[in-house]
Every structure is written in structure tokens, then in C-alpha cells.
Amino acid sequence: MGKAVLIPKDDQEKMKELFKINQFNLMASDLIALNRSLPDVRLEGCKTKVYPDELPNTSVVIVFHNEAWSTLLRTVYSVINRSPHYLLSEVILVDDASERDFLKLTLENYVKNLEVPVKIIRMEERSGLIRARLRGAAASKGQVITFLDAHCECTVGWLEPLLARIKEDRKTVVCPIIDVISDDTFEYMAGSDMTYGGFNWKLNFRWYPVPQREMDRRKGDRTLPVRTPTMAGGLFSIDRNYFEEIGTYDAGMDIWGGENLEMSFRIWQCGGSLEIVTCSHVGHVFRKATPYTFPGGTGHVINKNNRRLAEVWMDEFKDFFYIISPGKQF
């Protein structure tokens, strides 16, 4: 039920060594069942909602690079076990040039026996999250594309409210509430339905309290979706045709960083809207540091992406970014 794993004192040194591999407590993760049970953290009003029978189906696209076996498979099991199978077209795993042996033939053989079709696509060279997601999306068949990170856990009833909202309005792009899975103990902790995504003028994504005007629009019903300026980017569902109409991701952005704001600005400026569906909960392991290397360094890549985002989508408001981040102009 998502309880914390406590490592005995005798194993603490080994635990610290293993932590460095993925920047989370690998020992704790490996002790947990791949299909562990989780609490139902939804608001009471969400548990009794009835959704239409005729919902669009979805392909779930998960990009991974040197991911731990237990976190990757726990993500996949949570999708399969907590999604109605008639709504799940397929799960697509996109391997962004992983080097670990267990992510090759061992993984291919393992997923053959799962209850839902699981396809593995291999990138020929390290391409980063954005281009790997584009490859996964291009290979997918579902009417909706749902992107998840490789260290997530879906909870009961997570999928239907996302698909129901897209059925109502195909230009609405929807995110679940992102719950926290502790990088230390793997405890599952419910996220808040009272925050939404914003950004500062350095173009860093930030969580902010939902303003009163949005509370008023929902007439006090916290089970209704919250319109959000931007999204965290790791977890969202989008109508396939709408994704293509707005030009998908910007393939000129490198590796990772800034693509969540780029996609958010793109959605709002191309006739769509972005919402957090408060009846959908998906957990995510939030790390304090990245275990991955970036060509030229993390800062260089993110700065380049942010400049591109500012130039393409921000018109005269890009000046605020350049004032607060001098020396970053093209």
C-alpha cells in the first residue's frame, strides 16, 4: 500500500553505493513488488464519478535511458493493472540508447508475456527525451497518446478521467495530479489538487497555488479539472490528431529541459487548453540530482532550449527572459 521501505543499518553502506546508480534508493525499489498495491488517494467525489462507455483508446509511451529494472517494470505493471484493457491500445517503451544488458534481450523476453501488447523501440544513438518521445508517438496507434516517465506508478482510476476530458474536447491536453514517490524510501504520498504549473522569468517551471479565480470558475467543486498555465511535462495525455496539428514537439530542442514549457505555450497559442484533471493520480519518483550526462553539460543544453522557446513563442515577452538571464541571446 505504498508504505515506506526502511533499510536495516547493516545495509546502509551498500544502499548508499547503489543510490548513485540512478539517484534514488535502488535497494528499496528492488525490495518492493513490481505490482505493489497503492492507496486510493482520490477525492471522495472522484470515486463515484461515472465516465462514458465510448472513450478513446490510448497508447502509453515511456522513454527510458539506463533505467532501473524495478522502477521501469513497476511503471509498466501499474499501467497494465490499473487501466481498463479495452482503453489501452499498447505500451511503447522507447530505449534512448541504454547500455545496461538487462534492458536489452532480457527486457524483450520479459514483456512478451505481459497481458497488453508492449513494443520496444531502440534509438540508434542517445537522442534525448524529446526525439525519443517523437519516435514513440510516430510508432503508436492509439487515438490518444499518453506520455509517462520511466519511474511512475499509476493509481486506481487514473486513466478514465483523462480520456473522458479529451472526449469532451479533443483540444484539451490533460495531466494527472503528480503524487510523490520518495526517492529515499519509495513511500507513496498524495500530491495536492490546490497547485498548478507556472514559471518564472528564468523559464524555470514552478508549482504555484491555484488562484481564487480558478476556484470560482469551478464553483468550489474540486473534482473538476484545473486550467493550468504550464505543465511539468513528464506525464500528460493528448489527442493524436491535435498533437500532429500543433506540430508535435520541437525536434530542434536537445536532450531534455524546457520542452514542458515549449509544449505548454504551443498548446495555448494553437487553440488548445491545458488542464490538471484532479481525479487522476500518478506517482513519480522525484530525484534531487540527475544520473545522466548531457553533451556540453546540463546548463548548456537547458539554456539553448530556453532561448529557442523564448524566440519562437514569447514575442516581446522574451525581453524579460534576456534581462534576467543576460548573455543568453542568440
Instruction: State the first-to-last Cα distance of the chain, in angstroms, to the nearest integer.
Output: 50
pLDDT digits (tens, 9 = 90+) for 123-175: 999 888 899 999 999 999 999 999 999 999 999 999 999 999 999 999 999 99
The grid coordinates of residue 17 equal 553505493
Query: How far from 128 is each of 22, 135, 140, 220, 253, CA to CA, in Å?
Result: 17, 11, 19, 41, 9
- Residue ranges covered by each domain of the chain: 9-292
Whole-model pTM?
0.95
222, 43 contact by CB (below 8 A): yes
- The dihedrals phi and psi of 246, each to the nearest 5 degrees, come to -90, 5
State the DSSP code for 212: H
Best CATH choice for the domain 9-292 from the list 3.30.420.40, 3.40.50.300, 3.20.20.140, 3.90.550.10:
3.90.550.10
Mean pLDDT by 10 residues, the chain (330 residues): 96 96 95 97 97 96 97 98 98 96 98 97 92 96 98 98 98 98 97 95 94 92 96 95 95 78 96 98 86 62 86 94 73
Check residue 255 and give its pLDDT.
67
